[in-house]
Structure 1
Amino acid sequence: MNKPIYLSAKEAAAELGVQPATLYAYVSRGMISSVAGAGKQRRYDAADVRRLKGRRALEEPAGTRPLTGDPVLETELTMISQDGAIYRGRPAVDLAENATLESVATLLWGCAHDPFADPAPLAPPELPNGLGPLDRVMMALAAWPLQDKAAHTQSPKLLQTKGAALLRYGVAALLKTDPKTIPVHTQIAQAFGVSSKAKHLIRAALVLSADHELNTSTFAARCAASTRAPLHAALLSGLGAFSGPRHGAASGRADAWMAEITPETDVESLIADRLARGETLPGFGHKIYTEKDPRSHWLLTTLIASEPDHPFVRQLPVILKAGRDLFGLFPNIDFALAAMQKTYELPKDSGKIIFCAGRMAGWIAHALEQYGAQEQIRPRATYIGISAS
């Protein structure tokens, strides 16, 4: 067996072209393994370093600077490792067993008192017909000041309670219902008309979707909060980024190709045909997790255990194996949400609805944390255009 090669922190950082702090962040996420070295120094697995360097090279076209991977701010909310997200010291996969979105929200928001104890807010104003769920929420949030005279407050005493009201208000807009005080997973289960097994998975999916550190939509929400935009406007910023097909709407892309699967489908051939045509496999692969996405793994494992006789669920192991064998990829949370939708015959866009409802709790948490920071987020760009004559 080949003996592993280890590098010093200086050598590993130099190979990656990053600062030591970024190297340590990769280690904390489980992307690079390390072992104890001489004295207090640690040594870093050269194979992991070079594998990560190769991934970065593939993801960064020539002439560009990386916009993913390197830490740009500090947070006390969520840490990501290869074992999944950790919410203020609590692994999300552990919380998925029994926690509600509301209890996770109070954890992320650092609440000393229950912000969900107040009555539900008023319903959003009547919205135009034909809007999708994300468009409904955006329009409803823009109208929030109509019922909240303190919508622009920056008072820490009011913001947590306002966050709870906005979460209930946003969920109501997603579902086209009135805001309620019952748990969010119960509201969604009632709106979808599903079984207790599906309700359990919806609850867990909300918890696992609540936060994922500095993803694109969360960064957008934090940028807005750093300008001291009001909380509903910070949520609007997050929603705008979330609505793209490379983020919150990605489960719809997984839905589309999975709709071709019937009990008679040769799924391995179906996936092989996508590969032969040069098509991607939506719902597989993740920028952070080098192997399994722990959120997807938890949901799919639970789904397979809960519905072992369902025709589609019986095909899941074959689908997952084909994704690994043919594309070298593992399923992400978008695939898990699409699999839940297909198994339980949930309404169209249910994956987006569940993901968005959960992630709103995280956007609120990040906005609240950003309100407590003095600095306004203002990155710089490297100009590569024509020089002044």
Structure 2
Amino acid sequence: MDDQTDGGGRRIGTQEAARLLGVKPATVYAYVSRGQLTSRREAVGRGSSFDAAEVEALARRSRREAAAPAGDLAVRTSLTLIEPDRYFFRGVDAVELASRYAYEEVAEWLWTGSLPRGARFTAPPEVLAAARRAVAALPEHSGPVDRLRVAVAAAAVADPLRFDLSEEAVLGSARCLIPTLVGALPELGAAQPGDGPLARQLWSRLTPREPDEQALRVLDLALGLLVDHDLAASTLAVRVAASARAHPYAAVSAGLGALEGPLHGAAGRLAHRMLAEVLERGGAAPVVADHLRAGRRVPGLGHRLYRGEDPRATALFARLDGLAQAGPALAAAREVAAVMARQGGLHANVDLALAVLTVSCGMAAEAGETVFAVARTAGWIAHALEEYQERPLRMRPSGQYQGPRPPQPMP
């Protein structure tokens, strides 16, 4: 059939689509069956037509993937760039961005590349009620990630539009999901307004203490700094789920599942406990010695992506320096870092800085994990949005079989 145009743009026939893609016509229909292309049946005898822009986009992706080094899992992203001592969100210095803008505004920048001043996230009452009922049914000893996972599942069931993967629908879900996660957590202090800044809403779920504005600014900074950090284990899990076209709630659930692993999400809890012990014993040296004697890694130190101090820790330490109640915990953290610097040059990471905040503000050991999970949900949504624009199921590595070679006798 000849090329034609309609209200949706230029459309082309099967032969032209095959030529652009460099494949046989039968392969074009295989792309359709796998969800990589959409086709439209034309009038009798005219066959199927394809959106030319969609075909050209698939051709560009295929050429890029063909050029990628064999065996490498490289994920294209326009979100976060990490350099030896800095990191950037969409090309903008992340520390400077999070220092100037509220968490919600940083999230909007990561999602859309725009900065709507005064952005606020509000949980729909019916969704929030469903999440609270589900979380309330859990045992009292449930951890924060347990509660967040259940809240995500409840919010998903309450959203009939969750399978709509368009950018507009996914962002609408994200703006509702994040405050729902916060609102579903048990209240430890006086509840804050549901339509106020997210840091203020979260505060009463972390500590029974009344917030002061300086402490809230530290918490908001922590949320903004932790929005994204390239392909951490939990983020990769999110992209794998999104590659299979899981809806955004399921993708976030995948991230929370990976976060609960002791090598990813538990670092803040361990740093909190270590810092509390340093304060109790009056010095860092005996605590560090106990960790090393037991063969345990000293938490809150070192990061594989930074040669010096984690820039997120540097920013949080600077803001905590102006928080009166943080003085003892901040001095303890700096003493730990100084002791370890003599042992091998390890520097403070964001977990140690978060521990200063949680210890000094009367928060529980798992509070840092809660802050991390809530903050990173925005980044997970951003990565899911990117992955929805890629070829479905592209993250399918081949296993290296190490078992007995066939044929083997039947057991």
The RMSD of aligned alpha carbons is: 2.5
Residue 181 (structure 1) aligned to one of 195, 203, 216: 195
1:268 deviation in Å?
A: 1.9
Which residue among 98, 101, 110 is the counterpart of 1:99?
A: 101
Q: Distance in 2 between matches of 1:309 and 1:216?
A: 31
Aligned counterpart for 2:123 among listed residues 120, 123, 127: 120
Match of 1:57 in 2: none
TM-fit CA distance, 1:264:
5.4
**Cα distance change of structure 1 residues 345 and 375 upon mapping to structure 2, 3 Å threshold:** same
Q: Name 2:350's counterpart in structure 1.
A: 333
Match of 2:90 among 88, 91, 95: 88
Q: Given residue 383 of structure 2, which amino acid in structure 1 is its aligned partner?
A: H
Give the match for residue 25 of structure 2: none
The answer on whether the counterparts of 1:250 and 1:282 sit within 8 Å (CA) in structure 2 is yes
Corresponding residue number in structure 1 for 2:160: 149
Structure 2, unmatched stretches of 5+, are 1-71
Determine the structure 1 residue equivalent to 2:239: 222
Code of the aligned partner of 1:388: P
Distance 1:309 1:348, change over 3 A: closer
Q: Classify 1:259/1:182 alpha carbon distance in 2 versus 1 (closer, same or farther; 3 Å).
A: same
Say if 1:97 and 1:234 are closer, same or farther in 2 by CA, change over 3 A. same
Give SS of 1:166's match.
Answer: helix
- Which of 161, 169, 184 aligns to 1:158? It is 169
8 Å contact from structure 1 (residues 86, 92) kept in 2: yes
The 3-state SS of whatever aligns with 2:277 is coil
2:387 corresponds, among 366, 370, 376, to: 370
Residue-by-residue CA offset, 1:79-102 (whole Å, 9 max, x unaligned)? 111233200011111012221111
**Counterpart-to-counterpart distance in 2, 1:71 and 1:146:** 33
What CA deviation, in whole Å up to 9, does each residue of 1:118-150 have, x standing for no partner?
A: 853231141224222211111111122442111
Q: What residue is the counterpart of 1:14 in the other structure? A: none
1:249-302 deviations in whole A, cap 9, x for unaligned? 211111222221226523123213322332210111112112211111211232
Given that residues 316 and 353 in structure 2 are in contact (C-alpha distance below 8 angstroms), is that contact kept between their aligned partners in structure 1?
A: yes
**3-state DSSP class of the match of 1:388?**
coil
Cα distance in structure 1, aligned partners of 2:326 and 2:236: 41
**Alpha-carbon distance, 1:112 to partner:** 6.0
Q: Which amino acid aligns with 1:142?
A: A
Taking structure 1 as the reference length, what is the TM-score of the superposition?
Answer: 0.76
- Aligned twin of 1:108: 110
Q: 1:263, 1:311 within 8 Å by CA — same for their partners in 2?
A: no
The aligned counterpart of 2:399 is 381
For 2:120 and 2:330, the matched residues in 1 are separated by 39
1:221-260 to 2 correspondences below 5 Å: 221-260=238-277
1:1-389 maps to which residues of 2 (within 5 A)?
72-110=74-112, 119-122=122-125, 123=128, 124-126=131-133, 127=135, 128=137, 129-130=139-140, 131-175=142-186, 180-191=194-205, 192=207, 193-262=210-279, 265-307=282-324, 310-376=327-393, 377-389=395-407
- Which sections of structure 1, spanning at least 5 residues, go unmatched? 1-69
**Structure 1 residues 152 and 179, CA, compared in 2 at 3 Å: closer, same or farther?**
farther
Distance in 1 (alpha carbons) for counterparts of 2:84 and 2:323: 25
Moved more, 254-263 or 131-140: 254-263
Deviation at 1:113, TM superposition (A): 9.1
| 1:352 match: secondary structure | helix
Find the counterpart in structure 2 of residue 39 from structure 1.
Answer: none
- Residue 330 of structure 2 aligns with an amino acid whose one-letter code is V
CA distance 1:292–1:360, change in 2 (3 Å): same
Compute the displacement of 1:239 (Å).
0.5
Deviations 1:49-68 (A, max 9, x none): xxxxxxxxxxxxxxxxxxxx
1:310 CA drift (Å): 2.8
**Aligned AA (1:291):** G
**Secondary structure of the corresponding residue to residue 164 of structure 2:** coil
Tell me the SS of whatever aligns to 1:253. helix
Matched pairs, number = 320
**Amino acid across the alignment from 1:83:** D
**Judging changes above 3 Å, is the alpha-carbon distance between structure 1 residues 309 and 359 closer, same or farther for their aligned structure 2 residues?**
closer
